[in-house]
C-alpha cells in the first residue's frame, strides 16, 4: 500500500481502522493533561500568532511559503485543535497529524531561534508523536526500527553473533594495513568505549574499519562492547515511545558502566548523540549523561590538536560543511567542525546560513526513518537545502552525521547536484599518516 | 454623571491595577508552583546566566539573526512595545493625576513628542492588522481573538489622542479613554497579553537549554 494524498502507509491506515472515538479522546486528553504541565501551557498561551517562526522552517521555505508547513501552522493543525476540541478529533484529523508530526517536521529546533519568545515547537511536535504512538498509528518503517530496539536493543535487527562477526571481519581486514591492529572487545577499564549506530554493522561496516584505523594510529586505549547496548541510536525517542527510548539509553550507559570505561566516544551520528547526550539520560533520571559522551567531531579535533594523528597531505577538492542540527544546535560543535575541516582540507567554502542557523538535512528527527514510501515528498520538502548546496559550488559535501549523510545523498541525486557526500572520518582516513602514534615523536 | 466619573477615575483605577498586577503575580506564582510539582526537571537546566543571556540578546534590536530577516516587523515591534510603556507612564497629563493623588511626580515627555508616539502606536497597530489580513502565514494563524487583542490596545490610545486634540465630544472621549485603558489592564493577566511575563519565562528556559545543555546560541 503506497501512501497518497489521502492515505498513509499500512501501519497508519490499519491503526486508524482499529481506533474508537472514545480511545482517541481519552488518549489525546491523557497526554495533553497528564504528561504536560506549565511549560506546555505557557507555550500555547504565549504564542501571539505572529508567524515569525515561518522563516525558520525548511518545509515552509521549500514549498513556496505554504502556511500549512510553517511551525506554528503545524501546531495550529494539531495541538491547538486537539485542545479546542477537548480531544474529540477525527481519524482524518489524526491522519493529517501523523503526516505533520512525522513527515513534515524534523524536530530540528531551528524555529525556537526564530520565535521571539523561544517557544519550543519541536517539543509540541514530539508531544503529537507521543499521542500517535499511544494510539498505535506510528508510520510503518520507523515503528519497525522501534520494534527492533525493543527486541534486540539495536535499531536494525542485528543479531549478537552478526555484530561480533562484523567487528572481527573488520579487524581482520584492517590488519592488512596495520599488522597489530585490534578491535578490542569488552576490554575492562579501557579509556574509551567506542559506539556506533546499528546501520554501521548492517551496511556500512567500512566505517568501523576506518574508526579502528584512526584509533590504532592514534594509540588509543579503547574497546567496543560485544553485548546488546553497543548501539547508541534511538528511534523510540522520535516516535514518542519514551519507555523504550529510556530502556535503550539505560542499556547503553550500563554497558559502559560494566566495562568501567572513562568515557564514551561515538561515531558520526547526530540523533544518537541527541539520545545519549540530551534525551535518553533524562528519562533515566540523569540531568546530564552519567558518562562523558564525546561526538566523533570533538574526538577528531582532540586527536588532531594533540598530534595523535597527523595529516600527510590536505584533502584537495573543494569541500563544504553541513552542520547537523543535533551537534550544532544540539551541542555547539560547529566551530570545532570548522577547525577540523581547516586542518584536513585545503579548499573550504561555507554554505549559508550555517552553524546554529543551518537548514536541516530534511532527513532528521526520524523523517527518513519513515521509509521509502515517503522519499518523494522528502525531496520536495527540502528544496531549500538543495539550493543552499548548489550555491556553494563545492565538489564534496562533508556531513558528520548518519541521518544527514543519507538524507543529503538523496538530495544530491534528486537535484542532480553532482557532489560527493562524505563523513569527516572519510576525509581523515584518506589524508592521515598511517603510522602508529608514539608519544614525543 | 460626576459620581460615575469619580468612580472610574478613583476606585476603578485601583481595582484595575490590582487585577493587573495581582493577576500577573498570581499567574507567575501558579506557573512556578506547577513547574515545581510537575516538571521539576526545568530547574535542573535553568540558569540565571543563560536565561539572562538569551533574554538580553533578544532585547538588543536587530541582534538576533531572525530579527534582521524581518526588519519592518521588528522595527515596528520594537518602537510599538517601547512606546506602549513610555507614553502612558510619562505622559504629562497622567503624571499630573498621580501628583494630585499621591504628591509624587517624575519628568514628563514633551506633549508633542508623546502625541507623535501615540500616532506611531496607532500606525503600528494598523500595520499589525494589515499583516494579519494580508500576509499568508500570519493570516493562516489569525483568529477573531487576535483582532480583538489589537482592538483592545488601539482604543485607549486612539481615544487619548482624540481627547487630547479635543475632536468629538471631549467628555465622552475621556470616559471611553479611561474605561478602555482600565479594561486593557484588567484583561492582561487573562489573555495572551500576559506574554509580557510568560515570554521571559519561555525565553529563559529555551536560552538555558540551548546555552547550558547544548552549548549553543539561540539567537
A251 and A298 part of one domain: yes
Residues in A whose CB is inside 8 Å of some CB of B read: 37-39, 41-43, 45-52, 54-56, 60, 65, 67-68, 70, 72-73, 76, 112-114, 116-120, 278, 282, 287-288, 328-332, 353, 356-357
Q: For chain B, positions 77-96, list CB contacts with chain A under 8 A.
A: none
CB-CB contact of A272 with A266 (8 Å): yes
In Å, how far is B134's CA from the nearest CA of chain A?
Answer: 12
* Predicted local distance difference test score (pLDDT) of residue A3: 80
Inter-chain CB pairs, A–B, below 8 Å: 133
Q: How many domains does chain A have?
A: 3
Domain membership of residue A437 (yes or no) is no
Q: CA-to-CA distance for B122 and B150, rounded, in angstroms?
A: 10
pLDDT at A378 exceeding the cut of 80: yes
* Predicted local distance difference test score (pLDDT) of residue A86: 97
Domain membership of residue A112 (yes or no) is yes
Task: Please check whether residue B215 touches A, CB under 8 A.
Answer: yes
User: Which three-class secondary structure string do you get for B149-216?
Assistant: HHHHHHHHHHHHHHHHCCCCCHHHHHHHHHHHHHHHHHHHHHCHHHHHHHHHHHHHHHHHHHHHHCCC
Instruction: Test B69 with A55 for CB contact under 8 angstroms.
Output: yes
In Å, how far is B218's CA from the nearest CA of chain A?
Answer: 5
Continuous segment of H or E residues that includes residue B54? helix B48-59
A297 and A317 part of one domain: no
Domain membership of residue B63 (yes or no) is yes
A153 and A285 part of one domain: yes
Domain membership of residue B218 (yes or no) is no
What's chain A's average pLDDT?
96
- By residue count, chain A amounts to 441
Residue A78: which domain range? 10-138
CATH number of the domain to which A86 belongs? 1.10.1060
* Predicted local distance difference test score (pLDDT) of residue A2: 74
CATH number of the domain to which B54 belongs? 1.20.950
Residue B79: which domain range? 16-213
Instruction: Test B39 with A38 for CB contact under 8 angstroms.
Output: yes
For B8-41, write each residue's pLDDT tens digit: 999 999 999 999 999 999 999 999 999 999 999 9
CB-CB contact of A153 with A251 (8 Å): yes
* Predicted local distance difference test score (pLDDT) of residue A440: 74
Domain membership of residue B9 (yes or no) is no
Name the residue among B69, B131, B214 with its Cβ closest to that of A332: B214
CA angle (A109, A249, A38) in 5-degree steps:
45
Q: How many domains does chain B have?
A: 1
Name the residue among B32, B66, B137 with its Cβ closest to that of A51: B137
Domain membership of residue A226 (yes or no) is yes
User: Considering only alpha carbons, which residue of chain A is nearest residue B37?
Assistant: A37
Identify all chain B residues contacting A112, using CB atoms and an 8 Å cutoff: 206, 210, 218
The DSSP-derived string for B72-141 is: HHHHHHHHHHHHHHHHHHH-HHHHHHHHHHHS-------HHHHHHHHHHHHHHHHHHHHHHHH-HHHHHH
Enter the ipTM: 0.94
A192 and A260 part of one domain: yes
Instruction: Test A278 with B202 for CB contact under 8 angstroms.
Output: no
Q: CA-to-CA distance for A149 and A382, rounded, in angstroms?
A: 29
User: Considering only alpha carbons, which residue of chain A is nearest residue B200?
Assistant: A117
Domain membership of residue A439 (yes or no) is no
Q: Provide mean pLDDT across the span A273-297.
A: 96
Domain membership of residue B201 (yes or no) is yes
Q: For chain B, positions 177-196, list CB contacts with chain A under 8 A.
A: 192, 194-195
Domain membership of residue B8 (yes or no) is no
Q: For chain B, positions 142-161, list CB contacts with chain A under 8 A.
A: 142-143, 146
For A18-51, write each residue's pLDDT tens digit: 999 999 999 999 999 999 999 999 999 999 999 9
Q: CA-to-CA distance for A210 and B196, rounded, in angstroms?
A: 54
* Predicted local distance difference test score (pLDDT) of residue B148: 98
In Å, how far is B87's CA from the nearest CA of chain A?
Answer: 23
A162 and A276 part of one domain: yes
% of chain A residues with pLDDT over 70: 100
Which of B15, B59, B67, B9 has its CA nearest to residue B185? B15
Q: CA-to-CA distance for A429 and A312, rounded, in angstroms?
A: 11
Q: Which residues contact A240 (CB under 8 A, 6 or more apart)?
A: A126, A127, A129, A130, A131, A132, A133, A134, A138
For A102-127, write each residue's pLDDT tens digit: 999 999 999 999 999 999 999 999 99
Domain membership of residue B158 (yes or no) is yes
For B17-26, write each residue's pLDDT tens digit: 999 999 999 9
Domain end: A117, A138, A159, which one? A138
Q: Provide mean pLDDT across the span A397-418.
A: 97
Q: Provide mean pLDDT across the span B64-79.
A: 96
Name the residue among A39, A65, A76 with its Cβ closest to that of B39: A39
CA A47, chain centre distance (Å): 28
Q: CA-to-CA distance for A199 and B145, rounded, in angstroms?
A: 49
A76 and A187 part of one domain: no
* Predicted local distance difference test score (pLDDT) of residue A441: 65
* Predicted local distance difference test score (pLDDT) of residue A438: 86
Q: CA-to-CA distance for A245 and A257, rounded, in angstroms?
A: 18
Domain end: A81, A103, A138, which one? A138
A338 and A384 part of one domain: yes
Q: CA-to-CA distance for B126 and B104, rounded, in angstroms?
A: 35
User: Which three-class secondary structure string do you get for chain A?
Assistant: CCCCCCCCCHHHHHHHHHCCHHHHHHHHHHHHHHCCCHHHHHHHHHCCCCCHHHHHCHHHHHCCCCHHHCHHHHHHHHHHHHHHCCCCCCHHHHHHHHHHHHHCCCCCCHHHHCCCCCCCHHHHHHHHHHHHHHCCCCCHHHHHHHHHHHHHCCCCCCCHHHHHHHHHHHHHHHCCCCCCCCCCECCCCCCEEEEECCHHHHHCHHHHHHHHHHHHHHCCCEEECCCCCCECCCCHHHHCCHHHHHHHHHHHHHHHHHHCCCEEEECCCCHHHHHHHHHHHHHCCCCCCCCEEEEHHHHHHHHHHCCCCCECCCEEEEEEECCCCCCCCCCCCHHHHHHHHHHHEEEEECCCCCHHHCCCCCCCCCCHHHCHHHHHHHHHCCHHHHHHHHHHCCCEEECCCHHHHHHHHHHHHHCCCCCEEECHHHHHHHHECCCCCCCCC
Name the residue among B67, B202, B219 with its Cβ closest to that of A117: B202
* Bridge partners of residue A294, in order along the sequence: A265
CA angle (A36, A54, A383) in 5-degree steps:
115
Domain membership of residue A297 (yes or no) is yes
Q: Which of A116, A283, A336, A384 to mutate to test the interface with B (most CBs of B within 10 A)?
A: A116
Q: Provide mean pLDDT across the span A351-379.
A: 96
- By residue count, chain B amounts to 219
Domain membership of residue B2 (yes or no) is no
For B85-111, write each residue's pLDDT tens digit: 999 999 999 999 999 999 999 999 999
pLDDT at A4 exceeding the cut of 90: no
Instruction: Test A119 with B138 for CB contact under 8 angstroms.
Output: no
A235 and A174 part of one domain: yes
Name the residue among A114, A287, A328 with its Cβ closest to that of B66: A114
pLDDT at A1 exceeding the cut of 70: no
A120 and A256 part of one domain: no
Name the residue among A37, A41, A329 with its Cβ closest to that of B216: A329
pTM of whole model > 0.90?
Answer: yes
A329 and A419 part of one domain: yes
Domain end: A303, A325, A340, which one? A303
Q: Which of B43, B62, B128, B141 to mutate to test the interface with A (most CBs of A within 10 A)?
A: B141
Domain membership of residue B69 (yes or no) is yes
For A228-240, write each residue's pLDDT tens digit: 999 999 999 999 9
For A308-356, write each residue's pLDDT tens digit: 999 999 999 999 999 999 999 999 999 999 999 999 999 999 999 999 9
For B151-208, write each residue's pLDDT tens digit: 999 999 999 999 999 988 899 999 999 999 999 999 999 999 999 999 999 999 999 9
What DSSP state is assigned to residue B36?
H
Domain membership of residue A1 (yes or no) is no
On the CB side of B79, how many CA atoms lie within 13 Å of its CA? 18
Domain membership of residue A441 (yes or no) is no
Instruction: Test A37 with B202 for CB contact under 8 angstroms.
Output: no
Name the residue among A37, A48, A113 with its Cβ closest to that of B35: A37
A36 and A167 part of one domain: no
Amino acid at each position: 500500500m503506497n501512501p497518497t494524498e489521502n492515505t498513509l502507509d499500512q501501519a497508519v491506515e490499519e491503526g486508524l481502522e482499529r481506533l474508537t472515538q472514545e480511545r482517541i479522546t481519552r488518549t489525546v486528553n491523557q497526554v495533553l493533561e497528564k504528561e504536560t504541565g506549565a511549560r506546555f501551557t505557557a507555550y500555547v498561551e504565549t504564542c501571539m500568532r505572529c508567524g515569525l517562526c515561518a522563516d525558520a522552517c525548511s518545509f515552509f521555505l521549500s514549498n513556496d511559503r505554504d502556511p500549512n508547513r510553517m511551525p506554528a501552522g503545524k501546531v495550529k493543525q494539531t495541538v491547538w485543535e486537539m485542545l479546542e476540541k477537548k480531544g474529540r478529533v477525527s481519524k482524518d484529523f489524526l491522519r493529517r497529524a501523523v503526516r505533520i508530526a512525522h513527515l513534515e517536521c524534523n524536530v530540528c529546533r531551528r524555529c525556537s531561534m526564530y520565535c521571539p519568545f523561544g517557544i519550543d515547537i519541536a517539543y509540541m511536535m514530539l508531544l503529537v508523536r507521543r499521542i500517535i504512538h499511544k494510539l498505535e498509528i506510528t508510520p510503518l518503517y520507523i515503528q519497525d526500527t522501534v520494534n527492533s530496539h525493543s527486541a534486540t536493543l539495536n535499531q536494525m535487527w542485528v543479531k549478537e553473533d552478526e555484530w561480533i562477526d562484523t567487528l572481527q571481519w573488520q579487524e581482520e581486514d584492517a590488519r592488512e594495513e596495520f599488522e597489530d591492529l585490534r578491535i578490542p572487545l569488552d576490554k575492562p577499564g579501557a579509556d574509551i568505549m567506542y559506539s556506533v549506530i546499528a546501520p554501521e554493522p548492517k551496511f556500512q561496516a567500512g566505517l568501523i574499519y576506518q574508526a579502528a584505523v584512526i584509533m590504532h594510529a592514534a594509540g588509543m586505549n579503547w574497546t567496543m562492547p560485544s553485548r546488546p547496548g553497543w548501539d547508541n541510536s534511538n528511534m523510540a525517542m522520535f516516535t514518542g515511545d519514551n519507555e523504550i527510548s529510556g530502556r535503550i539509553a539505560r542499556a547503553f550507559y550500563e554497558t559502559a558502566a560494566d566495562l568501567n570505561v572513562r568515557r564514551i566516544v561515538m561515531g558520526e551520528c547526530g540523533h544518537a548523540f541527541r539520545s545519549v547526550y540530551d534525551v535518553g539520560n533524562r528519562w533515566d533520571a540523569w540531568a546530564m549523561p552519567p558518562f562523558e559522551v564525546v561526538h566523533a567531531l570533538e574526538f577528531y579535533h582532540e586527536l588532531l590538536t594533540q598530534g595523535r594523528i597527523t595529516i600527510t597531505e590536505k584533502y584537495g577538492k573543494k569541500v563544504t560543511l553541513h552542520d547537523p542540527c543535533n551537534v550544532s544546535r544540539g551541542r555547539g560543535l560547529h566551530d570545532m567542525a570548522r577547525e577540523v575541516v581547516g586542518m584536513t582540507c585545503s579548499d573550504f567554502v561555507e554554505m549559508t546560513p550555517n552553524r546554529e542557523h543551518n537548514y536541516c538535512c530534511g532527513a532528521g528527527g526520524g523523517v527518513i526513518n519513515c521509509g521509502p514510501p515517503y522519499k518523494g515528498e522528502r525531496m520536495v520538502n527540502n528544496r531549500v537545502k538543495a539550493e543552499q548546496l548548489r550555491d556553494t559550488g563545492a565538489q564534496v559535501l562533508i556531513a558528520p552525521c548518519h541521518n544527514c549523510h543519507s538524507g543529503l545523498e538523496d538530495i544530491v541525486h534528486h537535484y542532480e547536484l553532482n557532489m560527493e557526500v562524505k563523513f569527516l572520518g572519510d576525509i581523515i582516513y584518506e589524508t592521515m599518516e598511517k603510522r602508529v602514534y608514539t608519544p614525543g615523536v | 454623571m460626576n459620581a460615575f466619573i469619580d468612580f472610574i477615575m478613583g476606585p476603578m483605577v485601583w481595582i484595575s491595577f490590582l487585577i493587573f498586577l495581582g493577576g500577573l503575580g498570581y499567574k507567575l506564582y501558579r506557573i512556578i508552583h506547577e513547574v515545581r510539582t510537575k516538571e521539576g526537571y526545568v530547574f535542573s537546566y535553568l540558569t540565571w546566566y543563560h536565561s539572562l543571556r538569551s533574554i538580553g540578546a533578544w532585547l538588543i534590536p536587530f541582534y538576533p539573526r531572525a530579527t534582521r530577516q524581518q526588519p519592518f516587523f521588528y522595527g515596528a515591534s520594537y518602537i510599538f512595545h517601547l512606546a506602549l510603556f513610555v507614553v502612558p507612564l510619562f505622559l504629562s497629563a497622567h503624571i499630573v493625576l498621580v501628583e494630585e493623588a499621591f504628591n509624587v511626580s517624575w519628568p514628563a515627555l514633551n506633549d508633542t513628542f508623546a502625541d507623535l508616539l501615540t500616532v506611531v502606536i496607532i500606525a503600528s497597530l494598523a500595520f499589525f492588522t494589515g499583516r494579519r489580513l494580508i500576509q499568508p502565514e500570519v493570516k493562516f494563524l489569525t483568529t477573531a481573538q487576535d483582532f480583538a487583542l489589537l482592538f483592545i490596545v488601539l482604543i485607549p490610545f486612539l481615544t487619548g489622542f482624540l481627547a487630547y486634540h479635543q475632536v468629538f465630544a471631549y467628555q465622552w472621549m475621556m470616559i471611553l479613554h479611561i474605561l478602555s485603558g482600565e479594561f486593557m489592564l484588567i484583561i492582561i493577566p487573562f489573555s495572551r497579553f500576559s506574554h509580557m511575563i510568560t515570554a521571559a519565562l519561555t525565553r529563559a528556559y529555551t536560552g538555558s537549554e540551548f546555552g547550558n545543555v547544548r552549548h549553543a546560541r539561540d539567537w
